[in-house]
Copies of this chain bind each other. A is one copy, B any other.
């Protein structure tokens, strides 16, 4: 961990535009380099944090892919999101000083640990960071509004189409293909996120494949007709 520590520098990180405010002065940038205390590796299947754990830091994903999920005593389990490089996790912990969800790595991952105390301190001093933190929190609220719309008003095909378009769009912003992706999660996890059963996910994939909209081989997905997916999402809900 310490051998990594020397390399920790947001100013030279290629994910900077995703994590950090833009247009900072040299001096401010240098300050913010101190935001990241350490990096932490998380092996596939392991938790970065779990519900109930004391909240102490936000995490920026450097590499890897996560899911966040909440579990209730009565055995319900809901995936609340999937996170990829450049995205921030742990926002749920601020309100009560404890995490309320589990963050599980779906592939080997590395995150930047940003102690919350430092974030508070620096964002009082660096105006742009304050704005940035507020925006990150607000963006998550808006994202979840979108999920509520999806869960509340879309049918299975629309949900899966919206999900895939969102995934490729985010992957594309990170330099990946617009039409090809490898799912990091199981059908069951997709189903949990979309409020559907894994069989429905599987069937809907097959259906899209039959129609020539997708090419599906296990977790390898190739989008053959993006416009068709868009049309499905924007279909009149009757």
Contact = CB atoms under 8 A, between A and B. Distances in A.
Interface string A87-125: 000011111100011000000000000000000100111
Contacts of A234: 72-74
Contacts of A74: 234-237
Interface string A190-209: 00111100000000000000
Nearest to A191: B152
A120 B131 contact: yes
A139 B195 contact: no
Interface stretch (A11-19, A140-148, A168-176, A211-219): A140-148
A141 B92 contact: yes
A153 B196 CA distance: 8
A137 interface: yes
A71 to B, nearest CB: 9
Contacts of A141: 91-92, 95, 137, 140-141, 144
A135 B195 contact: no
Contacts of A44: none
B237 A76 contact: yes
Interface in A28-70: 70
Interface of A: 70, 72-78, 80, 91-96, 100-101, 120, 123-125, 127, 130-131, 133-135, 137-142, 144-145, 147-149, 151-154, 192-195, 234-237
6 contacts: A76-B153, A92-B141, A92-B142, A120-B127, A124-B124, A141-B141
